[in-house]
């Protein structure tokens, strides 16, 4: 009894992911919208050569970093309604920089028939002016029915139309699309598991820009891998990139998905990255994705959080108390999870150099120690000039102490100052130099 059941189970499994065919009914229509997620390209486990019949492509461990929506609309609902009648439009880019020319609000316009899915036009805006680019030779994406081992190699060509005759440039694009359905089987993503065809496309493109009578070609070659399944309308998975010899470098990983909470994308900056011992830096959170919690970490931990801030502050002030190079990490979180950004060697604390605000006085170097200081601070000058004096300021510019310099070595009493950071200004009748010091 076991053998027939085993055979039956094997037959069911063998037919679970049989070869499929893609038709025009599996392409999007105007008025349809589909959610997708993008994942990080770093650490992507993708072998482009894993192809052929009855394959399993497992991308179930992809982690979404950002979500978007592929919104297909009637051309009548775009800024280019007068140019592309009876087509399906989708916005593909916010901006496109072509050397000195910046185009915006970029749309592709598709035609869908029972025989093919193709791009017949593109829309651009320049300084608010809608500009059509009609394909002289359309860009054919798929022939239908699309099935395993299908192959197609076709050119495409468009020119940008200048309806006013006033554009300071001309723009055209020529290209060649080589498409091969090189595999079938099962693809697994966080969205689900699907019977699919894998479609490999090589795009050889040259953008041509003419400015002030000079023609400038911009060539590029890209590769696109798409996993198509019936009924999903957009690829359940798409990986774009470039290839040098046998080395594929991914630039985009995008897959069909459902709306879901996503972790933030941590990022930060500071008001400086190097200084002497005792320097305080203010760190500013630049995280995207609406974080609700922040955790700062500095290695080595020879630091102190200042002015009431702490490791959980959004934008803390941190004082660095030892020489060396410091790694700074920010972990942020929300309902979608946690994300960490680490900057290796971001902060450097070094011996005070006579440079910038700490330049020599009259070309003579001087020493100021210890820093941080407790009760006293010692100033040693290379030589003594007439009418030399010391002034100490708070960081908001208020003068707190003033003292004349009587010798090349001067002891400065700090007992009247509370703990904190200060600016000391050493001046004579010809020059002035400033330094920051820390009172503990």
What residues form DSSP beta bridges with 25?
A: none
- Residues in the chain, pLDDT under 70: 1-17, 351-366, 384, 386, 396
Same fold across 268-349 and 356-439 = yes
pLDDT of residue 133: 96
pLDDT at 365: 55
Q: Looking at residue 386, what is its pLDDT?
A: 65
Q: In this structure, which topology does domain 268-349 adopt according to CATH?
A: Immunoglobulin-like (2.60.40)
pLDDT of residue 5: 34
CATH 2.60.40.3080 applies to domain 356-439? yes
Place of tokens 């599996």: 26
Answer whether 0.75 is exceeded by the pTM: no
- Domains of the chain, by residue range, sit at 18-256, 268-349, 356-439
């Amino acid at each position: 009894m076991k053998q027939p059941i085993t055979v039956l189970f094997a037959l069911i499994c063998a037919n679970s992911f049989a070869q499929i065919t893609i038709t025009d009914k599996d392409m999007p229509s105007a008025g349809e919208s589909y959610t997708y997620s993008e994942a990080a390209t770093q650490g992507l486990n993708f072998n482009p050569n894993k192809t052929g019949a009855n394959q399993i492509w497992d991308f179930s461990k992809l982690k979404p970093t950002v979500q978007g929506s592929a919104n297909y609309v009637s051309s009548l609902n775009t800024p280019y309604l007068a140019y592309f009648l009876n087509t399906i439009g989708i916005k593909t880019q916010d901006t496109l920089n072509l050397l000195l020319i910046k185009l915006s609000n970029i749309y592709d316009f598709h035609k869908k028939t029972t025989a093919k899915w193709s791009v017949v036009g593109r829309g651009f805006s320049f300084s608010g002016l809608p500009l059509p680019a009609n394909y002289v030779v359309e860009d054919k994406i798929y022939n239908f029915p699309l099935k395993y081992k299908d192959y197609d190699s076709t050119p495409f060509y468009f020119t940008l139309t200048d309806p006013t005759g006033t554009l300071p440039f001309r723009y055209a694009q020529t290209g060649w699309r080589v498409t091969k359905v090189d595999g079938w089987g099962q693809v697994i993503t966080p969205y689900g598991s699907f019977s699919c065809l894998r479609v490999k496309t090589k795009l050889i493109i040259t953008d041509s820009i003419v400015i002030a009578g000079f023609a400038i070609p911009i060539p590029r070659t890209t590769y696109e891998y798409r996993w198509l399944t019936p009924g999903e309308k957009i690829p359940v998975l798409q990986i774009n990139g470039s290839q040098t010899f046998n080395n594929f470098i991914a630039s985009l990983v995008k897959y069909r998905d459902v709306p879901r909470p996503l972790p933030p994308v941590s990022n930060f900056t500071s008001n400086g990255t190097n200084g002497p011992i005792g320097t305080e830096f203010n760190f500013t959170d630049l995280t995207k994705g609406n974080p609700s919690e922040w955790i700062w970490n500095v290695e080595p931990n020879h630091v102190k959080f200042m002015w009431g801030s702490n490791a959980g502050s959004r934008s803390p002030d941190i004082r660095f108390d030892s020489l060396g190079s410091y790694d700074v990490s920010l972990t942020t979180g929300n309902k979608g999870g946690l994300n960490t950004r680490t900057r290796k060697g971001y902060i450097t604390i070094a011996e005070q150099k006579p440079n910038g605000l700490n330049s020599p006085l009259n070309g003579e170097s001087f020493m100021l120690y210890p820093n941080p200081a407790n009760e006293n601070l010692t100033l040693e000058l290379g030589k003594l000039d007439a009418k030399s004096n010391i002034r100490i300021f708070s960081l908001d510019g208020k003068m707190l102490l003033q003292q004349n310099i009587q010798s090349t070595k001067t002891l400065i009493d700090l007992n009247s100052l509370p703990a904190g950071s200060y600016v000391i200004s050493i001046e004579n009748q010809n020059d002035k130099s400033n330094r920051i010091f820390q009172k503990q």
